[in-house]
Structure formats: C-alpha cells, structure tokens
Amino acid sequence: MDLISTPTDTRKGSTPSTKKAGSRKDSSRLIAAAILGGLAVVFAVINRHEVKVNWLLGTWETPLIVVIGVSFLAGAAIGAFASRRRYRGGKKSSSG
C-alpha cells in the first residue's frame, strides 16, 4: 500500500509541534463573547414586560425585548447596507 505524502511548510517556526492549539487572542475573544452573551440573556430576562408599540400594521402589546431586538436588527441591516454601498461607491472609477 502506498502512503500519500503531503507537502510540508518549510518556513521557520511553522512545524506542527510548535503550533499552539489556541492563541491567547482567540481565548480572549471567546471569553468576551461569553460575557456579552451572558449579559444579553440577563438583559432579555429583565425586559420581559409588555409594552404598547405602534407597528406599521397596527398597535399591540409586545415584550420589550422583542422591540429592542427588532430595533437592533433593523439598525444592523441599515448599517451594513450603508457601509456596503459606501464601499462600492469608493471602488468605482470615474470615467468621462
């Protein structure tokens, strides 16, 4: 049976034995994400009471966390659209 050989990286310090399983930066990000996730859960539990909201299609009572979530998602979508549009606008070359 033939063994398949894979190419190895010969750069200095790139051997698999010296490679760490996870960097300090990655673990810091994971800890920060866990803390922010925990705060989001606490925030959601605290803001469960009903509020009267005037939606586009009518007025009804909705949990405050739903209102906050919808507002966050709408703001994120608008921000992503605006930054994408600005990025595309900067890449265009002016001809004429």
What is the full per-residue pLDDT of the chain (96 aa) written as tens digits?
A: 555 666 655 565 555 554 555 788 889 989 998 998 889 888 888 888 999 988 788 898 989 888 888 888 898 899 989 888 776 665 554 554
Does some domain include residue 16?
no
Number of separate domains in the chain: 1
Q: What counts of helices (H) and strands (E) characterise the chain? A: 2, 2
Decide if 5 is inside a domain: no
- CA distance linking residue 4 with residue 51, whole number of Å: 64
- The residue segments making up the domain with residue 61 are 50-90
Tokens of 25: 């930066």
82 located within any domain: yes
Instruction: Evaluate whether residue 78 is within a structural domain.
Output: yes
Tell me if 19 is assigned to some domain: no
Q: What is the pLDDT of residue 77?
A: 93
User: Rounded to two decimals, what is the model's pTM?
Assistant: 0.50
Q: Which helix (H) or strand (E) holds 54?
A: strand 50-55
